Amino acid sequence: MYIVTVIIRFVISMLKTVLTKVTGFESTKMVIIIRTDLKMGRGKIASQAAHAAVLLYQSSIETSNPHLKWWLHTGQPKIVLKIDTNCDEALTNIYQKAKDLNLNTCMVKDAGRTQIDTGTLTAVGIGPNRKEDVEKLTSNFKLL
């Protein structure tokens, strides 16, 4: 049984490599950066991350993002990172840089119904796009 599992994993790995070369697509990912300076509860953080993921997915459909299909068929990788200093300005800058690089991106601003003031920037999302392109902007952040 072990040998069969190893062989199946090898074949899948080879198929991914071939598909990548044939289609020209590389690994894709979605990254969501959450502000931790706002002292949001765990549920609030999860909600803001979910808002970002949904906004990114919706905009990918609306703009016919060429990376969406590949991302969907490779497990929809999502990474949630944190930022805790100079958050508002830093997130706005990341959002603008992503826009400048033609990456799918979104800003999440709170509705103000619970813990956070209305209009407060709580998260920025990027992707799904090529992993390398997303990491150019997000590699300095730590996992949440």
| 52 burial type by CB count under 10 A (0-12 exposed, 13-18 middle, 19+ buried) | buried
Distance of CA 127 to the CA centre of its chain: 5
Cα–Cα distances in Å, from 36 out to 41, 45, 108, 114?
10, 9, 14, 16
Q: Which residues contact 104 (CB under 8 A, 6 or more apart)?
A: 56, 59, 60, 63, 65, 67, 98, 126, 127, 128, 129
Mean pLDDT of all residues belonging to the chain: 91
pLDDT tens digits for range 49-81: 999 999 999 999 999 999 999 899 889 999 999
pLDDT of residue 19: 63
- In the predicted model, what is the mean pLDDT of residues 130-143? 96
Q: pLDDT band at residue 15, thresholds of 50, 70 and 90?
A: confident
pLDDT tens digits for range 78-113: 999 999 988 899 999 999 999 999 999 999 999 888
Percentage of the chain with pLDDT > 70? 93
Q: Which residues contact 35 (CB under 8 A, 6 or more apart)?
A: 82, 83, 84, 87, 88, 91, 121, 122, 123
Q: Which residues contact 118 (CB under 8 A, 6 or more apart)?
A: 110, 111, 112
User: Residue type at 129?
Assistant: N
24-143 placed in CATH 3.40.1490.10: yes
pLDDT of residue 87: 87
- What does the domain layout of the chain look like in residue ranges? 24-143
> HSE on the CB side for 86, CA within 13 Å?
6
User: Residue type at 114?
Assistant: T
How far apart, in whole angstroms, are the C-alpha atoms of residue 127 and residue 141? 16
Q: Choose between 19 and 84: higher pLDDT.
A: 84
Q: pLDDT band at residue 46, thresholds of 50, 70 and 90?
A: very high
Percentage of the chain with pLDDT > 90? 72
pLDDT of residue 6: 78
pLDDT of residue 85: 83
Is the pLDDT assigned to residue 10 strictly greater than 90? no
